[in-house]
Amino acid sequence: MPAGAREVARVAGVSLSTVSRTLARPDQVAPETREKVLAAARSLGYRPSPAARGLTTGRTQTLGLVVPDLENPYFTSVVKGAQRRALSLGYALIVADTDEDSRQEVELVRSIATRADGVILCSPRTPEEVIVDLAADCTMVLVNRPCGDVPTVTIDNRDGVRQALDHLRALGHRRIAYVGGPRGSWSDDERLAAVRDAEHESDLEMIELGSFRPYVSGGVAAADLVLASGATAVLTYNDLLALGVLDRLRQRGVDVPGRMSVVGIDNIPAAALTTPPLTSVEVPRAASGSAGVDLLLQRLEPERPVPPAEDRLAVQLVVRGSTGTAP
């Protein structure tokens, strides 16, 4: 059994309270006494528990992460990246899922903030003024949504759309549909803005089909609209929508990519397993979770190297079999 604080006190020849004070506030202990306690702790292999540290420092060594939907593989990867980074730095991670309900975001952040040192809020749908108020009440950073002066890690969504549309244009497509994501999504706002820029700056005709729930079922519902639009290619807000589009096109006997090319965004693992495999924009999902942890710890531990206030992560198009030359 590992040595406890009482054993450290006995070996160092000091009181238990002196051991606690030395480990929590070493500057308040005489140098000679401090060295005796630290030497005893090292010799015994003593490490204070997170709970004990929390009692003396007011810190829990726990971080919170709130995401819109854990069933979406995108956010599962964000969680894995954040958890891996947090554990490597000695922190536990509390994860909560809002089920794409913006009303739950505020409640979950406030609840977790009472049990954690800080909170990472990922892809929030809450209005900006509400997020700013939340950030004033607790230590919080954002992932995939800039908002006021709140420290943020963002994804270069516009460049991802540009890469996808440049690819389709090079294949001869000129009439391209866009299947949008949930209302209130900053990522969808950015992607839609890039779609509109492409139409203004090139010879592409972009057809905006509206907002859809970011699931396979949303893609199934959008596919018939894609076909009715006369487009020869479709770009979807995320891969789950693209998978739904592919499934519905298959049901209707539409050849992909012979008659219709399909591009998704996120490059989730399932993108490589479809028939045909899905062309998709690779988004650094795990890296964004890890960067969120680093950004939050910079606020909690100012002595750490300072990261940029906003980290814009790059994306990369991955070309597979769902895109081909225009019919």
Task: Mark which of 57, 76, 99 sits at the end of a domain.
Answer: 57
Q: Answer yes or no: are the C-beta atoms of 168 and 195 closer than 8 Å.
A: no
The mean per-residue pLDDT over the stretch 73-98 comes to 94
Q: Which residues contact 201 (CB under 8 A, 6 or more apart)?
A: none
Q: Which two tokens stand for residue 241?
A: 């929508």
* Residues 256-293 pLDDT 10s: 999 999 999 999 999 999 999 999 999 999 999 999 99
Residue 242 has pLDDT above 80, yes or no: yes
Task: Give the per-residue pLDDT at 310.
Answer: 54
Task: Judge whether 80 lies within some domain.
Answer: yes
pTM of the model: 0.79
Tokens 């505020």 correspond to 106
- pLDDT of residue 227 exceeding 80, the answer is yes
Query: What is the average pLDDT across 102-111?
Result: 90
Name the 3-class secondary structure at 114.
coil
Look up the CATH number of the domain holding residue 96: 3.40.50.2300
Whether 143 and 200 map to the same domain: the answer is no
Is residue 292 one of the residues assigned to a domain? yes
In terms of DSSP H, where are the helices of 89-156?
Answer: 102-113, 128-137
What is the DSSP secondary structure assignment for residue 26, as one 8-state letter? G
Same domain? 116 vs 181: no
What does the pLDDT look like over 119-145, one tens digit per residue?
999 999 888 899 998 888 899 999 999
Range of the domain at 193: 157-283
Q: Are residues 82 and 131 in the same domain?
A: yes
- Find the DSSP H helices in 89-229: 102-113, 128-137, 157-170, 186-201, 216-229
The string over 212-221, giving b where at least 16 C-beta atoms fall within 10 Å of a residue's C-beta and e elsewhere, is bbbbbebbbb
Helix (H) or strand (E) holding 66: strand 62-67
Encode pLDDT of 27-77 as tens digits.
778 888 888 888 888 888 776 655 455 544 557 789 999 999 999 999 999
State mean pLDDT over 213-219: 96
